[in-house]
């Protein structure tokens, strides 16, 4: 099994987190987003979308973090996914939240502030105010999440699942995009619980959001 990944990519980090929680080893191929390697001919032959993460397992090629989480959690069990269809739908609701509200909110704010690019399909010189839009979505998603976590330990099913893994990275890294977590006490408590899970591995920026300047 081979994972195409980049250290500072939160979407790649989702997969690295699940692998760490499951205690599974996987070959890693680093795709350097800082030198545009995601658009090299070699990588585009793996993922024509030009994005990490991508997972290759024999003949199977998966090109999206949510798909990879479902595949690995479904195969390796451990309570991160479910065999029950209604429970699968409850988890998928949060995978979709991560791919929409989170990706176009706190993800984009972090990409623009810390890396200077929208990294969500828009060109680096896109004339619109990408950051202002991302902050509105980012703050709204944090408010939604904070209200949901009032009285809950985990996003769904009363246990940590891939729903939490999919939402965690960019929410916890929101301060890198200059979006403060301080108004969201329930989100902060959930982040602390998530970080205490056995096998947790960090990503740069969790404790030092200004490390990129
Ligand atoms: N829907 C995809 C999004 C993946 C994604 O946004 N990848 C970013 C890094 S975190 C990327 O590779 N961007 C490359 C670029 O913007 O050129 C997933 O969840 O895997």
Residue-wise pLDDT for 85-110, tens only, equals 999 999 999 999 999 999 999 999 99
From the CB of 165, is ligand 1 less than 6 Å away?
no
Query: pLDDT class for 77, splitting at 50, 70, 90?
Result: confident
CATH number assigned to the domain covering 85-195: 1.20.1050.10
**Dihedral of the CA atoms 49, 53, 56, 60 (nearest 10)?**
-60
From the CB of 65, is ligand 1 less than 6 Å away?
yes
- Per-residue pLDDT at 40: 98
What are the sequence ranges of the domains in the chain? 2-76, 85-195
**Dihedral of the CA atoms 117, 206, 62, 92 (nearest 10)?**
-110
Report the nearest atom of ligand 1 relative to the CA of 119.
Answer: 16
From the CB of 119, is ligand 1 less than 6 Å away?
yes
CATH number assigned to the domain covering 2-76: 3.40.30.10
Is the pLDDT at 37 greater than 90? The verdict is yes
The pLDDT mean for the chain works out to 96
- Per-residue pLDDT at 119: 82
- Per-residue pLDDT at 203: 98
How far is residue 152 from each of residues 86, 109, 149, measured CA to CA in Å? 19, 27, 5
| Separation of CA 151 and ligand 1 centre (Å) | 32
Tell me the pTM: 0.98
Query: Strand, coil or helix: what is 201?
Result: coil
Element spanning 60, H or E: strand 60-62
From the CB of 5, is ligand 1 less than 6 Å away?
no
């Amino acid at each position: 099994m081979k994972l195409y990944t980049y250290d500072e990519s939160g979407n790649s980090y989702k997969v690295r987190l699940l692998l760490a929680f499951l205690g599974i080893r996987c070959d890693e191929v680093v795709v350097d987003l800082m030198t545009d390697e995601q658009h090299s001919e070699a990588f585009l032959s793996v993922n024509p979308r030009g994005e990490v993460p991508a997972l290759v397992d024999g003949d199977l090629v998966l090109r999206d973090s949510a798909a990879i989480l479902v595949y690995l959690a479904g195969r390796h069990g451990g309570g991160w996914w479910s065999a029950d269809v209604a429970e699968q739908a409850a988890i998928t609701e949060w995978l979709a939240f991560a791919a929409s509200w989170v990706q176009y909110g706190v993800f984009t704010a972090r990409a623009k502030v810390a890396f200077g690019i929208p990294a969500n399909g828009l060109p680096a010189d896109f004339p619109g105010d990408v950051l202002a839009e991302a902050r509105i979505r980012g703050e709204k998603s944090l408010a939604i999440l904070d209200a949901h976590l009032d009285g809950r330990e985990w996003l769904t099913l009363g246990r940590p699942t891939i729903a939490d893994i999919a939402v965690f990275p960019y929410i916890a890294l929101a301060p890198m995009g200059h979006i403060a977590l301080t108004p969201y006490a329930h989100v902060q408590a959930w982040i602390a619980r998530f970080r205490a899970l056995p096998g947790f591995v960090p990503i740069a920026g969790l404790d030092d959001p200004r490390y990129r300047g």
